Each structure stands twice: as C-alpha cells, then as structure tokens.
C-alpha cells in the first residue's frame, strides 16, 4: 500500500483540527507504541491526536484519507493482540478524552456514552441507579469503545452474553470521514444487514466509534459465590456440563489449576482457596457465582449446586456469602494475568474458545506441549463458555528463540482447537498477533469475504493497517 508520511503542513492542519492535542516526536508518550502484549511488536506513530468530538475525528479522517496517511484508533491500550499499535506509523487517534456518560434513558433501559468512558466508570455509575451493565471483562480500565471494538467478553458472559449483546446503537466515523449512525434504541430489528454487528468486534478496521447506546438491566438483588476444590482437573471440568444440565444458571463459572491459584494468591497477598481437605489435595477448582432476587433463593441454589458438584467428585464446597470473602476469591481470580506477568520474563497468550465438552481433552493436549516444545504452560479460563486463556512462558530463553518456540506452540494449539470445533479468539480479538492463525482457522473464502468488506468501508485501506484480515 502506498502510504504517505505526515508532512509539516499536514501536522499543522491536524493542529488546527485539534488545538493543543496533537503530539509529535519526543512529545509522544512511550505507552502509545504498544498495548499489553508488546511481544507482537512496538511501533511509533508520527502524530498522536487526542480527540474530543465526532466532528474532529471526521476532519482527521478526511484529511488522512485524502493524503493516504494510516490512522490507528486507540482506547486505553489494554488490548492483548497488538490491535492499537500503529504498525505503519501515521496518526494514532486516541479516544480517552471522550469520556462523558451523556444520558440515561431509564424507560428504555439504555445509556448513551462517549467511547472513552472506562468500563469501571459506567459499571459504578449504573450501579448507583440500581442498574447493571452486564459485560464484565477482567480489565476494568479499558474504554467502552475498545470493549465494543473487540467484542470483549469476561466472567459474566456465560449468563448474560458478551459486549455485542448490549450494544443498541453507535455513531461511527468511516475511514472516508463520513459520519453515520448504526442501530437504534429499539430492542429488536430485522432491517437489512446488521452494520451495527459488523462494527462490533471489527477492532478499529472499519470505522471509529464516537458514541454508543448501551443496554442496561436491573441490578440483581443478591449473589453468592462457591469455591469448589477438586482432586483433579478432569473432574472439575467434567462437572461443568452437569451444572447446566441440572437447570442451574451461573452468572460466572471459572476453572483454575492449583499452580495458578497459588501464584495469584501470593501476588494479591491473601489465601482463600483451600489446599487440602480431609487429607485430599486440591489440584483444581471451580469458582461459581449465582445471582438472584433474595437470600432464600440463593440458599436453595447453593444447596442444589453442592449436590451436583459432590456427585461429580468435588472434595468440598466453600460458600462465599460475605462481601469480604467474595471480594477476596474474585480478586485472586482477576489477578491471574498480572500474577503470570509478574512471574515471567517472556510470555505469549491465546484465548481460544472450544465447545464446552471439549475443554478437558483440549487442556490435556495443551499441557502435553510443555515437554514437546519446551515452554512452561499455564491455563485458566471461562469454563462455562469454553473460552480458555493459555500462556506459554519462559524466564530463561532469549527473546528470538522464545518467539520462534511460541509460534510453534500457538500453531499447534490453534490447529487442535479448530479440529475440536473451536475458534481462534473468544474475546481478545485478532489484532496483529493472530492474523495468520485466523486465516488457517476460517479458510480462504471467509478471509476473502472479510477483506472485501474491509475494502468497501475503507477504499484506501488507511484505517488500522495490518490487523484482523489485512496482512501487510
Ligand atoms: C489484565 C487484563 C485483563 C483482561 N481481561 C479481559 C477479559 O476478561 N475479557 C476481554 O475480552 N478482554 C480482556 N482484556 C483485554 C482488553 O482489556 C480488551 O481487549 C479491551 O476491550 C480493550 O479496550 P481498550 O480501551 O484498552 O482498547 P485498545 O487496546 O486501545 O484497542 C483495542 C482495539 O480496539 C480498537 N479501538 C479502540 N477504541 C476504538 C474506537 N473508539 N473505535 C474503533 N476502534 C477502536 C483499537 O484500534 C484496537 O484494535 C484484558 C486485558 C488485561 C490487560
């Protein structure tokens, strides 16, 4: 692609569009060169524009489209696939200053927000009104624009669905600079191709989201968490379908191996998960949360769930019904990634998703690669929806050797996942890091359809080059 460089004249024009919010050269913060997975490569933009309005973004896009300058949208930069890294330079368009909650419409259960509002800010604000914004990805300081652009998932997806299920409408600036609205406040629609859904999960390759209308639900009145130790991973995972078959509807259902629990508890400085019960060592755990209308209902659910898990090999059930215990249990779970990062010099990650009944054979296969490839493997994940986070790590290897071994590891992992009916990413997206794996998984025809859709939205291919379906 014949991308052009930003000239001093073009930089002056950007400064006229966003006065005081255009940064170049030494004024560019190093954070803007990467996301949370720098292993996929860092890159510096030629200019950073911190936008405030839809109109500013439209003006930037018009200018860049006319001059073939690449533009990369960026939220909080917490992505895990290199999606917001400006690999071709050009403009990095940052939305974090567009951070206003604009309006609640309580009769229609929706809220209008700017894309730079943080997930945590909306969650806390909605709670004050007795409302829940159900998507709950682990990183609470990501932007809602980033969440929608990656179709972020998280712990509550098993009951409530992913970010996609909570987006009613959005304002988008197309790569050509045109401003469009997709969707509306209505709760059902059958009105042609869903451009709204095409935008969700498009990782900043089709347009820039500048406003969102998101669905809310009434806040469930009570919840309880169960910490359930098992003597081995197979019985823990094997119990998952039994929970659903008993008619139980957990809000969250996570599995975790002993090693990762121990390192995460050391990281947060508190032990909540029991290690040994009546002489039997816990090798794996399920952490389950149920929500409901009152304590009596939750007591009945907890009893029923306990019967199911004991019938399937659990060695204990710890009921976390106080706020402190619940907080500590989920703090350990939420810190898995940080705990792994703190312990590890080099790591690569994937978030494959496999059918729920294939989790156990898949994990056994992945663990077998530890010896075959020679990297330490750590896994945890959303047992309720088959979305697994698998890390290969090394503290000894040089970076080049690690990258080559990690590539071999990931290739095998994705081939196996595809064989078992799975997909490359359950929630993090494809970004830069997973482009070649996507092609192998979905095949040439689907990839060509995606590339052609990209060309319709972005004839000059200037928006977020090198991501998702467009390999440079
Ligand atoms: C500790 C930790 C835990 C995490 N846990 C989870 C989890 O449980 N579930 C999960 O799904 N993810 C998780 N993530 C990944 C990450 O938080 C999500 O991918 C999040 O959605 C990224 O949002 P962001 O604002 O940081 O976006 P960025 O990283 O800045 O960008 C992500 C992508 O979105 C595009 N983009 C951003 N804003 C816009 C916009 N306004 N318009 C168009 N495109 C845009 C970018 O170009 C890029 O392709 C975790 C990350 C960390 C570090």
Task: Report d(CA 94, CA 140) in Å as an integer.
Answer: 18
Q: How far is the CA of 324 from the centre of ligand 1 (A)?
A: 29
Whole-number pLDDT of residue 321 = 81
Is the pLDDT confidence value at 6 over 90?
yes
- The CB-side HSE value for 223 (13 A sphere, CA atoms) comes to 18
φ, ψ of residue 119 in degrees (nearest 5): -50, -45
Nearest CA, atom 19, ligand 1 = 79
Nearest CA, atom 7, ligand 1 = 137
Structure token pair of residue 23: 């940064």
Q: How far is the CA of 94 from the centre of ligand 1 (A)?
A: 13
Q: Check residue 411 and give left, alpha or beta (phi > 0: left; psi -120 to 50: alpha).
A: alpha
Is the pLDDT confidence value at 440 over 90?
no
Atom of ligand 1 nearest to the CA of 145: 41
* Residue among 116, 119, 171, 117 nearest 140 (CA): 119
Secondary structure letter of residue 373 according to DSSP = I
Work out the mean pLDDT of the chain and round it to a whole number.
95
pLDDT bin (cut points 50, 70, 90) of residue 302 is: very high
Cα 93 to Cα 11, 21, 36, 70: the distances in Å are 13, 11, 18, 10
Three-class SS of residue 338?
Answer: helix
Residue 376's CB is within 10 A of a number of other CB atoms, namely 16
Is the pLDDT confidence value at 262 over 80?
yes
Q: Which residues lie with the beta carbon below 6 Å from any ligand 1 atom?
A: 35-36, 72-80, 83-84, 95, 115, 137-139, 142-143, 145-147, 149-150, 152-154, 203-204, 208-209, 337-338, 427-428, 431, 464
**What is the best residue among 48, 100, 119, 150 to mutate for testing ligand 1's pocket, by most ligand atoms within 8 Å of CB?**
150
Is the pLDDT confidence value at 204 over 80?
yes
Is the pLDDT confidence value at 322 over 90?
no
Secondary structure letter of residue 129 according to DSSP = T
Task: Report d(CA 393, CA 259) in Å as an integer.
Answer: 14
Task: Report d(CA 343, CA 348) in Å as an integer.
Answer: 13
How does pLDDT run across 59-96, given as a tens digit for each residue? 999 999 999 999 999 999 999 999 999 999 999 999 99
Average pLDDT value for residue range 120-128: 97
* Residue among 354, 465, 395 nearest 43 (CA): 465
Average pLDDT value for residue range 345-371: 93
The rounded percent of the chain whose pLDDT value lies above 90 is: 86
Task: Report d(CA 368, CA 138) in Å as an integer.
Answer: 28
Q: How far is the CA of 146 from the centre of ligand 1 (A)?
A: 4
Cα 200 to Cα 138, 184, 230, 448: the distances in Å are 19, 14, 38, 19
Q: How far is the CA of 306 from the centre of ligand 1 (A)?
A: 36
Task: Report d(CA 349, CA 371) in Å as an integer.
Answer: 18
Q: How far is the CA of 119 from the centre of ligand 1 (A)?
A: 10
In sign, the C-alpha dihedral spanning 321, 327, 332, 333 is positive
**What is the best residue among 45, 74, 87, 120 to mutate for testing ligand 1's pocket, by most ligand atoms within 8 Å of CB?**
74
| All domains in the chain, ordered by first residue | 8-94 (3.30.43.10), 101-218 (3.30.465.10), 223-334 (3.30.70.2190), 344-452 (3.30.70.2740)
**What is the best residue among 41, 100, 139 to mutate for testing ligand 1's pocket, by most ligand atoms within 8 Å of CB?**
139
Cα 148 to Cα 55, 111, 460: the distances in Å are 20, 14, 24
Structure token pair of residue 14: 């950007």
pLDDT bin (cut points 50, 70, 90) of residue 213 is: very high
Is the pLDDT confidence value at 337 over 90?
no
By the 8 A CB rule, do 164 and 201 touch? yes
Q: How far is the CA of 147 from the centre of ligand 1 (A)?
A: 5
Atom of ligand 1 nearest to the CA of 154: 8
Is the pLDDT confidence value at 358 over 90?
yes
Whole-number pLDDT of residue 255 = 92
Atom of ligand 1 nearest to the CA of 96: 25
Taking the model in full, what pTM does it have? 0.95
pLDDT bin (cut points 50, 70, 90) of residue 354 is: very high
- The CB-side HSE value for 285 (13 A sphere, CA atoms) comes to 29
By the 8 A CB rule, do 94 and 56 touch? no
- Of the chain, the end-to-end C-alpha distance in Å amounts to 8
Atom of ligand 1 nearest to the CA of 74: 30
The lowest-confidence range among 307-316, 334-343, 362-371 is 334-343
Residues 6+ apart with CB under 8 A from 145: 73, 75, 95, 98, 115, 116, 209, 212
Q: How far is the CA of 280 from the centre of ligand 1 (A)?
A: 40
How does pLDDT run across 221-254, given as a tens digit for each residue? 999 999 999 999 999 999 999 999 999 999 999 9
* Residue among 108, 111, 147 nearest 128 (CA): 111
By the 8 A CB rule, do 409 and 375 touch? yes
**What is the best residue among 41, 42, 79, 252 to mutate for testing ligand 1's pocket, by most ligand atoms within 8 Å of CB?**
79
Atom of ligand 1 nearest to the CA of 36: 53
Is the pLDDT confidence value at 187 over 90?
no
Atom of ligand 1 nearest to the CA of 78: 26
Cα 256 to Cα 228, 273, 353: the distances in Å are 10, 11, 16
Nearest CA, atom 23, ligand 1 = 146
Whole-number pLDDT of residue 326 = 86
Greater confidence (356 vs 18) lies with 18
Whole-number pLDDT of residue 285 = 95
Is the pLDDT confidence value at 1 over 80?
no
Atom of ligand 1 nearest to the CA of 116: 41
The lowest-confidence range among 170-184, 265-279, 403-417 is 265-279
Nearest CA, atom 2, ligand 1 = 139
Residue 9's CB is within 10 A of a number of other CB atoms, namely 8
Is the pLDDT confidence value at 105 over 80?
yes
DSSP characters for 151-187?
Answer: T--BTTHHHH--GGGGEEEEEEE-TTS-EEEEE-S-S
Three-class SS of residue 346?
Answer: strand
**What is the best residue among 60, 145, 146, 349 to mutate for testing ligand 1's pocket, by most ligand atoms within 8 Å of CB?**
146
Q: How far is the CA of 75 from the centre of ligand 1 (A)?
A: 7
């Amino acid at each position: 692609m014949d991308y052009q460089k930003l000239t001093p004249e073009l930089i002056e024009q950007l400064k006229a569009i966003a006065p005081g919010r255009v940064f170049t050269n030494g004024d560019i913060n190093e954070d803007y060169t990467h996301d949370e997975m720098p292993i996929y490569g860092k890159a510096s933009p030629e200019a950073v524009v911190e936008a405030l309005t839809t109109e500013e973004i439209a003006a930037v896009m018009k200018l860049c489209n006319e001059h073939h300058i690449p533009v990369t949208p960026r939220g909080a930069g917490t992505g895990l696939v290199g999606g917001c890294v400006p690999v071709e330079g050009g403009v990095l368009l940052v939305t974090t200053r567009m951070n206003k909650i604009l309006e609640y419409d309580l009769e229609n259960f929706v809220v209008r927000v700017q894309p730079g509002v943080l997930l945590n800010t909306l969650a806390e604000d909605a709670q004050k009104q007795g409302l829940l914004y159900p998507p709950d990805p682990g990183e609470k300081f990501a932007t809602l624009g980033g969440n929608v652009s990656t179709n972020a998932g998280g712990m509550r997806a098993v009951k409530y669905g992913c970010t996609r299920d909570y987006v009613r409408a959005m304002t988008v600036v197309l790569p050509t600079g045109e401003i469009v609205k997709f969707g509306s406040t209505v709760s059902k629609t059958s009105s042609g191709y869903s451009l709204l859904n095409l935008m969700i999960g498009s990782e900043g390759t089709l347009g820039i989201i500048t406003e969102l209308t998101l669905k809310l639900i009434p806040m469930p009145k009570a919840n309880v968490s169960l910490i359930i130790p098992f003597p081995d991973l197979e019985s823990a995972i094997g119990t998952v379908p039994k929970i659903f078959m008993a008619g139980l509807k957990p809000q969250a259902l996570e599995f975790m191996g002993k090693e990762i629990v121990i390192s995460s508890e050391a990281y947060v400085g508190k032990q909540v998960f029991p290690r040994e019960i009546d002489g039997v060592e816990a090798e794996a755990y399920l952490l389950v949360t149920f929500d409901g209308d009152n304590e009596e209902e939750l007591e009945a659910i907890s009893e029923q769930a306990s019967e199911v898990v004991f019938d399937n090999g659990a060695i204990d059930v710890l009921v976390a019904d106080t706020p402190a215990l619940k907080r500590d249990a989920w703090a350990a779970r939420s810190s898995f990634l940080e705990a792994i990062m703190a312990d590890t010099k080099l790591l690569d990650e994937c978030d494959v998703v496999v059918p729920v009944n294939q989790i156990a054979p898949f994990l056994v296969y992945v663990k077998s690669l530890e010896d075959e490839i020679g990297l330490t493997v750590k896994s945890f994940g959303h047992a309720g929806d088959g979305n697994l986070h698998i890390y290969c790590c090394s503290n000894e290897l040089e970076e080049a050797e690690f990258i080559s071994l990690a590539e071999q590891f990931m290739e095998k992992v994705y081939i196996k996942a595809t064989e078992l009916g799975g997909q490359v990413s359950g929630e993090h997206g494809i970004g830069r890091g997973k482009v070649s794996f996507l092609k192998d998984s979905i095949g040439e025809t689907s990839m060509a359809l995606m590339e052609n859709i990209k060309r319709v939205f972005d004839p000059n291919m200037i928006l977020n080059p090198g991501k998702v379906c467009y390999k440079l």
